[in-house]
A = this chain, B = another copy of it.
Amino acid sequence: MRYIAVFDHFLTEAHRRQITETAGNCGFSVTYCTKVGDIPAEERGKYEVLYGNPQPADFRAFPNLKWVCLSSAGFNQYVDDDIYPSPDVILSNSSGAYGLTISEHILMAALMLLRRMPVYFRAAAEHRWQAAMPIRSLSGSRITVLGTGDIGTAFARRAKALGAAHITGVRRTIRPADPAFDDVTDFAGLNDVLPRTDILVSALPHTPETAGVLSRERINRLPAHAILINVGRGTAVDQQALMDALNENRLAGAALDVMVPEPLPSDHPLWTTPNLILTPHMSGNMSLGETCDIDVDMFCADVERFARGLTLAHAVDRKRGY
């Protein structure tokens, strides 16, 4: 018998049955725990696989570890080889589980900003019946999406279905992306696209290349009617430049689900910046049942591949960072 430890923070009874049955058919026994301390030290040597949200500091407790499957898409805490008992341990993530929920979040945030909901929410809080004009439409808009993976593609498809005029995907290297993107460029090409962007979306992971990509200079290239939505990682955006643009009405609005730092301290100036919608890194978490279902499905499919010695579908390149 071989062994899997699941660090559980979102599973339903049905999910556990699905994992136990799939793993059992592949010769694995599954232990469910919430932290490494739940597994006696003398038994940790038998586990080859960890799934869920184990912490980086946990890995070296498992000397015979072969594969860590994160239930998250982001993995920048997990790139350092030193946290693993061996550099050969495979890391996989759950990119693919979040496209649905995060694309709906982007769509919501875009419509809220185009239709000036921050103004309406403030008026309603003060019991004031007051119009805010003009509003704008998603239909006919020009959209630029940083990151053409699962999340960026899921949003581009939805925006296209809702009548977006033109969608540009931006990625590290220029390669074909999903047909929902009208064209694809790289970070160097971004400068030319920004002045004709109505809606700018960042779905970028944190890597050395993406940190600071939305610099002050680039933010200032956006037209004053543009809106910016970040659902990737907070490090992509120069937050002071964003606050300056919003405070000076050089940008119509922004929505940040990710920021620096998280959690945001209660005295941070982002909280009081006008036309800014802040949400606490919730666009892609496990609060949507469908996300959990997809996450478990993807892990189970990779358990079957792992048992047969095949390449995992969701393995990541730790050195590249995504």
Task: Give A residues with C-beta under 8 Å from B.
Answer: 100-101, 104-105, 107-108, 111-112, 114-115, 117, 120-121, 123-125, 127-140, 158, 161-162, 262-264, 266-268, 271, 277-280, 282, 285, 287-290
Assess A129 versus B263: contact at CB under 8 Å? Given A108-B115, A271-B124. yes
Assess A111 versus B107: contact at CB under 8 Å? Given A134-B287, A282-B131, A287-B134. yes
Residue of B nearest to A285 (CB): B131
- Contacts A108-B111, A127-B266 known; 15 new A-B pairs at CB < 8 A: A101-B135, A104-B115, A105-B111, A105-B115, A107-B107, A107-B111, A112-B117, A124-B271, A124-B278, A127-B271, A129-B264, A135-B282, A136-B288, A137-B288, A137-B290
User: How many copies of this chain are found per oligomer?
Assistant: 2
- Whether B101 lies near A112 (C-beta < 8 A) is no
- Whether B100 lies near A108 (C-beta < 8 A) is no
Assess A112 versus B108: contact at CB under 8 Å? Given A133-B287, A287-B133. yes
- Whether A287 lies near B131 (C-beta < 8 A) is yes
Residue of B nearest to A123 (CB): B280
**Roughly how many angstroms separate A122 CA and B267 CA in the complex, as a whole number?**
16
